[in-house]
Amino acid sequence: MDKSVSPLGVNRPIRALLTMLSVSAITASVVVGSSPAFGNEGRAAARVDIVVQGGGIVDPADVTELSVILRADETGLLGAGEIVLRLTESRFTSEEQIRRFLAGESNPVFSEVATAQTPDVPQLESRELPLALGADLWDFRLPKDEPTNSSEPPRRQAGVFGIEVTYSHPSNMTPALRKLAGRQVIVVIPEDLVIPRANIAPIVTLTTAADGGVTLRPEELQALTIAGGAVDVVTAAVRTHPATIAIDSRITASITALGDQAPPESLAWASALGTVGLAQFGLPWADADPLGSLEIDTLTYARLGEYPWIHGDAVTNDDLETLATRSASAVLVSSNSIPSDRAVVTIGQARVIRVDAQLSALATDALQAPTPLEAEADMQRAQGLIAYRALTGNQEILIFSTGRLPATAIAPRIDAVLGRLVSMPVSNSVAVPLTVAPTEILTSVLGTANPREYREFVTRVRELWEGDVTFATIASDPEGSVFGRWTRYQALLSSTWRENPNGLATEWERAKEDSRDFRNSVRIEQGSAITVLSDQTSLPVTVVNNLPSDVVVILAVRPTTGILAVETPHVRLTIPPGDAMRALIPVQSLANGTVPVEFALFSAGGEPVGETVTIPVTIRAGWEGIISIGLAVVVGGTFAFGLIRAIQRRRGDQRATASGDEVSA
């Protein structure tokens, strides 16, 4: 069993100094790292953690080397203080004990095994403190079994132990930084002991950011699938370290929609996708929450795939029944909702695949850890759970996710983390049992309700979608007008928003604005003020249709006062796609003055369409005759004046001619 190399690159050469200064029950040796390691802000909370050298599996006959990691966050300095290391008195006797220990929900019996002083840790920096524990710690914790054959030497047992480190400095300025604690597990296996491997089935999700709810543009696809792009890197990791891959349908649908116009890199990636991984299954658009999608899906548009994967722990028996009737071959559900450790169970009519929530969280933490050393700490906690199953011979498959995050978020470390998982000396990577028969029948899930804020958000998304659907009923092809908008709302329920709440808030505002624009695609143009000079006339109104389909609307005209009467207050209009129609509304003026007239559109069912437009109409009833007479007088006077002038000019010419004749005579 090779326990000297860690795939995350955190092992160091054995230090002679540490070997000489190995500690037993209550002594410790400490060497402070000379150069600081800087963490990023992705998981920047101050913490203290432990990494066991040699990959987390130790031989009880050897010195156990540890590294204690202290990291300060943006809240301030971790002053020079004290760390205390405590080891459980006995090995864990159940998997549940390990889970509760790592979650901080139990306090087993500890013994103090080391203390040390720590240096100052400046803000946003970390320090590593190497420690060494003597082999005699395991003498009473792992006694040797008496051999059944007297000719054989006694053999030491194996076990999984818990270790806790606490940092304290009462004078730190920030109260939360005065005491920190971290927990780790140590797997102790004698070198000559051969143990079986536990079956694990990691799921790598291949998703993209869900912004816009539209297919990816060619340049986006190229950036993702080009050599070194996020999707290419994640795919290569799964090809190197076999696992099950779950593929976002937005990626494949985008390539399909572009066809031959898709980037060559994307076409090459898609053509080789079928050979990647131990198994594959599709995810809904942007890995949208299946139950949230069902909640807003008033037109049965949701394509949840053959293996819908529930977000979080909120699920009921009725939800499972609904998914089963929607052609789900199996439903992936969090272990927090399944009262069993079996990989595949039956609940009602649904076949349920158990996804281990704690292992999924540890793998996700490793992918987002600021440094490789802290990622290794997360992996060793996961290894402790896997090792216990190996030591007890439990062959049930441990299914877990490596983080339901966009490919861009997991690409930097997916190869190292996935490689670490599948190469553990205690693990055997297998495919997710998508088609395996259940091994247990359960009566119910343990699911809880989603938080109130999430339920309210889903309700608001549904209301927005329903408003768009209602608006689309004015089109001759309502489904064609609204179908392309479904993914816009489904994308709001994407798993990729979990780590980006600010991005979701921005996307929600965009969705509301986009909905307003969509519902304003059929509208009344805001005209200028109208002046009416006769008792009876027509008001001109222009209605625009920007939808790709004919629309039928009812134009309603309502004067706000009684000085104007509308002969036909409701006019049915059919407007061609991408066109505008000018309607003339007959009216009769009853008195002079100015009246605001409201113009509104309604569907055939009476639902309002777009916004009401108000146009002021000024009435000058009776002025038409006066103006006509005035114009007639002006025109007639001008004509008469011109005629008189012409006659006078002619007479003048005649007199001038006569005078000339007389002079000549």
What pLDDT score does 14 carry?
35
Say which CATH architecture domain 198-448 belongs to.
Alpha-Beta Barrel (3.20)
Contact 87, 137 (CB under 8 A): yes
Q: Which pLDDT value is given to residue 178?
A: 92
Q: If DSSP codes are grouped into helix, strand and coil, which group holds residue 576?
A: coil
Of the candidates 524, 557, 530, the residue with the CA atom closest to the CA atom of residue 617: 530
Q: Are strands 57-58 and 179-188 parallel, antiparallel or unpaired?
A: parallel
* Residue in 212, 211, 229, 233 with CA at minimum distance from that of residue 221: 229
Q: How far is CA 405 from CA 241, 409, 485, 508, in A?
A: 19, 6, 24, 19
Tell me which architecture the domain covering 522-623 has in CATH.
Sandwich (2.60)
Pairing type for strands 244-248 and 279-283 reads parallel
**Is 563:592 a contact under the CB 8 Å cutoff?**
yes
Q: Supply the pLDDT for residue 632.
A: 53
Is 0.85 surpassed by the pTM of this model? no
Q: What pLDDT, on the 0 to 100 scale, is given for residue 173?
A: 86
Mode of pairing for the β-strands spanning 522-524 and 564-566? unpaired
Domain boundaries, the chain: 16-147+155-188, 198-448, 453-519, 522-623
- For residue 19, what pLDDT is reported? 34
Burial zone of 460 (CB within 10 Å; 0-12 exposed, 13-18 middle, 19+ buried): middle
- The widest CA-to-CA distance across the chain, in whole angstroms, is 177
* Inter-axis angle of helices 264-272 and 218-225, nearest 10: 60
Per-residue pLDDT, 35: 31
How is 589-647 classified by DSSP, letter by letter?
A: E-SSEEEEEEEEEE-TTS-EEEEEEEEEEEE-TTHHHHHHHHHHHHHHHHHHHHHHHHH
Q: Splitting the chain (665 residues) into consecutive groups of 10 residues, what average pLDDT does each group show?
A: 35 35 34 31 75 94 94 91 96 96 94 95 93 92 74 81 96 90 96 92 94 90 96 97 95 94 96 95 93 88 88 92 90 96 96 97 94 95 97 96 92 96 95 96 89 94 94 91 89 90 93 94 89 85 93 94 89 94 90 90 90 90 51 58 66 59 48
Pairing between β-strand 344-347 and β-strand 350-355 as defined by DSSP bridges:
antiparallel
Taking domain 16-147+155-188, whether its CATH number is 2.60.40.10 is answered by yes
Q: Is there a common fold for 16-147+155-188 and 522-623?
A: yes
Among 157, 160, 158, residue whose Cα is nearest residue 184: 160
